[in-house]
Amino acid sequence: METITVDRSEQDDLGIIDEGGLAIDNGRIVEAASSQLLERKYSASRHISTSGEILLPGFIDPHTHLVFHGSREEEFRLRQEGASYLEILGNGGGIMETVNRTRETSQAELLSIAQHRLDTAIESGTTTLEIKSGYGLRLYDELKILRTIRQLQRKNLCRIAATFLGAHAIPPFMNPDEYATIIIEEMLPAVRRWNLADFCDVFCESGVFDPKTSSKILKAAGRMNLRTKIHADQFTNNGGAKVANDVGAVSADHVIHSSISEMERMNETKVTPVVLPASSQSLLSRQYAPARELLSMGLSVALGSDFSPSNWVLGLLTVAAIAARELRMKAEEIIPSITINAARALGMERRIGSLSPGKSADIVVLRAPSHKWIGYTYGEGMVDKVLIAGNERVREGKLVN
């Protein structure tokens, strides 16, 4: 049995301990070591046996759009017939369809829909995730979504980072400048006043927010003590990665068309690139982030699901399989990208992301003979147990209530 600590102080990059186990106390990791040594050293009131399985840090999803109403399977059909994402958006479909549905939905209803999705994520091994607003696009509804996220935080053991993405699209009959002013002067102060978000994000793309406006919004957020993220260069090289580097964002997400020099600059600015290959696949695009180049530059690449109505996937083992196939990422590269590097993309690397002493006992136990099964399979039936802060939340692949 392997215990994959992802603790770099261990012998190899993944910090693998053969026949290893963990000592946990009060929701935190005390020690990762060989089971034999742990049994001699500690007396535990409770043992969880994991023979024939592998232990990893709980998975971390640094990019989701979990809270919205409805689905867009008809739009997927249009894409199968050749329509592009930006064409659909330009014709009033895409995000605006989901915005309209979400605006009509009460907070209580949104909470119940989102809780169901969150349960699926946890059953897939996710113990921390980020959730963005962005399907309100006006003060009342953006706050409603952020308050739904806050309710999820209070109801669930898993950690949730909240991101204000009022700048997800331009509402109809408005120009980007007008809407950016509303975001900066009305929305951000309200988000701040109620302390509803950890991050502010902007969809920087041609036809949505240009680099100048994106930068203005993110700088305003920074002045209000919100950390920043950006949807960068998903469809075109639009300067999103440069904005991320200039404003000192925590992460730059998508980075499919970002320029090489800006990606290299991330080594200095410490911006974490978040690659979202499931999203490219759902958009039926053959264009993916250059993950191999990012890795060869020495960057800490994170992987996320980008769960949204246009990309209905929550399980990071499924995302890992796509990354293995489309980005040629190897198991030993994928594992840090869904644990410690994803924690970095949320600024939480000191608390979670590896099985290191003092960190939260967020653990996933997989039915697999070795870590090399991550990426090799699609992860079906692989999750056995999930522990969050030492509490068993999933057993035999099912949520424990």
Binding stretches for Zn ion (CB under 5 A): 306
In the complex with Zn ion, the residue whose CB is nearer, 85 or 179, is 85
Q: Which contacts (CB < 8 Å, 24+ apart) does range 87-91 have?
A: 89/169, 89/207, 90/207
* 59, 127 Cβ separation under 8 angstroms: yes
Residues whose CB falls within 8 Å of the CB of residue 94, separated by 6 or more in sequence, listed in order: 72, 75, 85, 88, 169, 310
* 214, 24 Cβ separation under 8 angstroms: no
Kindly state the tokens that stand for 128. 């921390």
In the complex with Zn ion, the residue whose CB is nearer, 306 or 362, is 306
Q: What φ, ψ does residue 130 adopt, rounded to 5°? A: -105, 140
- In the complex, what is the shortest distance from the CB of residue 81 to Zn ion, in angstroms, rounded to a whole number? 24
In the complex with Zn ion, the residue whose CB is nearer, 57 or 134, is 134
- In the complex, what is the shortest distance from the CB of residue 315 to Zn ion, in angstroms, rounded to a whole number? 17
- In the complex, what is the shortest distance from the CB of residue 34 to Zn ion, in angstroms, rounded to a whole number? 41
Segment (H or E) for 25: strand 20-25
- In the complex, what is the shortest distance from the CB of residue 87 to Zn ion, in angstroms, rounded to a whole number? 19
- In the complex, what is the shortest distance from the CB of residue 159 to Zn ion, in angstroms, rounded to a whole number? 19
* 265, 24 Cβ separation under 8 angstroms: no
In the complex with Zn ion, the residue whose CB is nearer, 142 or 306, is 306
- In the complex, what is the shortest distance from the CB of residue 201 to Zn ion, in angstroms, rounded to a whole number? 8
In the complex with Zn ion, the residue whose CB is nearer, 168 or 385, is 168
In the complex with Zn ion, the residue whose CB is nearer, 122 or 274, is 274
Residues whose CB falls within 8 Å of the CB of residue 287, separated by 6 or more in sequence, listed in order: 256, 257, 280
Q: How far apart are CA 320 and CA 258, in angstroms?
A: 22
Specify which residues 28 forms β-bridges with.
Answer: 25, 360
Position of minimal CB gap to Zn ion = 306
